[in-house]
């Protein structure tokens, strides 16, 4: 996110850029991981005020399409094949909580301020709510979205929005550690793992249970799995003989 003068607030251009970026990444299997971060002092302050003023004058049809454009951006991030790591600092407010909710891994700096603040402005977190509720659950979402209150990184972690909270000076290192961990794994396996987790999270328990044996069988027979398992057992055998 590169609008540091306004704390990376969303406008039409930024939304289009993010959508294009993540749509493009989906066509590049060589990409192993994506780090989503904001330039400057903040991750993202939510919607740009000038954009909100323009939207207030839209017709109902224009407003619906505007919201759908934002929804398509979130979907592009959420369904991005490689893991998306959120590097969160400064503030993450309003629609930015949608970004956080779409990240597979979210790491925040101590001192970051969060908020699902839409109701303070008389609007609602409608488009981000499916991602938000999936991420933190309905109980936490009610507590935070209905009050519009600000909360810190530890509260965000307790709610399930953030996975790790680290000192600001450790943020880049913590993100780099996750990237390196992903690099150590089979690239196809990571992509398929994300795909099946998305699937089982969006179907009934019975549907997920029924579909997964075939997924495992296909993965076991893949060239990547065969090569990696052979290398693992060969290394284990060498250690045993020492």
What is the CB neighbour count within 10 angstroms for residue 114?
A: 26
> Residues 142, 235: one domain?
no
> Could you tell me if 227 and 146 lie in one domain?
no
pLDDT at residue number 52 = 84
CATH number at residue 48: 3.90.226.10
Q: Which of 150, 166, 183 is a domain's end point?
A: 183
Band of pLDDT at residue 231, cut at 50, 70 and 90: confident
Residues 20 and 110 in one domain: yes
* Same domain, yes or no: 36 and 121: yes
Q: Quote the pLDDT of residue 96.
A: 97
Taking the C-alpha atoms of residue 68 and residue 79, their distance in angstroms, rounded to an integer, is 16
Please indicate, yes or no, whether residues 194 and 160 belong to a single structural domain of this protein: no
Kindly state whether residues 237 and 133 are assigned to the same domain: no
Radius of gyration from C-alpha coordinates of the chain: 20
Residue 47: count other Cβ atoms within 10 Å of its Cβ: 22
- pLDDT of amino acid 236: 75
Residue 240, pLDDT score: 72
Is pLDDT above 80 for 242? no
Total domains in the chain come to 2
What pLDDT is attached to residue 232? Answer: 85
Contacts of 232 (CB under 8 A, 6+ apart): none
Does one domain contain both 94 and 200? no
Last residue of a domain, one of 158, 183, 208: 183
3-state secondary structure string across 49-70: HHHHHHHHCCCHHHHHHHHHHH
140 and 204 belong to one structural domain: no
User: Cα separations (Å) of 192 from 53, 81, 180, 202?
Assistant: 42, 8, 18, 15
Question: In this predicted model, what pLDDT tens digit does every residue of 33-82 receive, in sequence order?
Answer: 999 999 999 999 999 988 888 888 889 999 999 999 999 999 999 999 99
Helix axis angle for 12-25 and 60-78, nearest 10°, is 40
60 shares a domain with 172:
yes
Same domain? For 45 and 161 the reply is yes
* Average pLDDT, integer, range 120-146: 96
> How does the average pLDDT of the chain come out, rounded?
94
Q: Residue 238's pLDDT is what?
A: 74
Which of 151, 183, 215 terminates a domain? The answer is: 183
Q: 137 with 20, same domain?
A: yes
Enclosing domain of residue 100: 4-183
- Per-residue confidence (pLDDT) for residue 95, from 0 to 100: 95
Q: What is the pLDDT of residues 86-131, one digit of tens each?
A: 999 999 999 999 999 999 999 999 999 999 999 999 999 999 999 9
């Amino acid at each position: 996110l590169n609008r540091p003068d306004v704390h990376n607030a969303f406008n039409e251009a930024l939304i289009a850029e993010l959508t294009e970026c993540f749509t493009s990444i989906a066509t590049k299997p060589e990409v192993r991981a994506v780090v989503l971060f904001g330039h400057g002092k903040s991750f993202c302050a939510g919607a740009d005020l000038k954009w909100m003023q323009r939207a207030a004058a839209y017709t109902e049809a224009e407003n619906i399409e505007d919201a759908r454009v934002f929804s398509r951006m979130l979907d592009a991030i959420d369904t991005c094949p490689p893991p998306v790591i959120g590097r969160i600092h400064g503030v993450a407010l309003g629609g930015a909580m949608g970004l956080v909710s779409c990240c597979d891994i979210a790491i925040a700096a101590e001192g970051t301020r969060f908020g699902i603040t839409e109701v303070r402005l008389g609007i609602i977190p409608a488009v981000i709510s499916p991602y938000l509720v999936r991420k933190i659950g309905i109980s936490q979402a009610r507590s935070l979205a209905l009050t519009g209150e600000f909360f810190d990184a530890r509260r965000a972690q307790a709610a399930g929005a953030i996975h790790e909270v680290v000192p600001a000076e450790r943020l880049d290192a913590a993100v780099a550690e996750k990237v390196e961990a992903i690099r150590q794994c089979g690239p196809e396996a990571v992509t398929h793992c994300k795909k099946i987790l998305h699937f089982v999270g969006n179907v009934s328990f019975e549907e997920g249970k029924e579909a997964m044996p075939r997924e495992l069988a296909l993965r076991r027979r893949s060239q990547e799995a065969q090569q990696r398992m052979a290398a693992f057992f060969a290394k284990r055998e060498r250690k045993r003989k020492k």
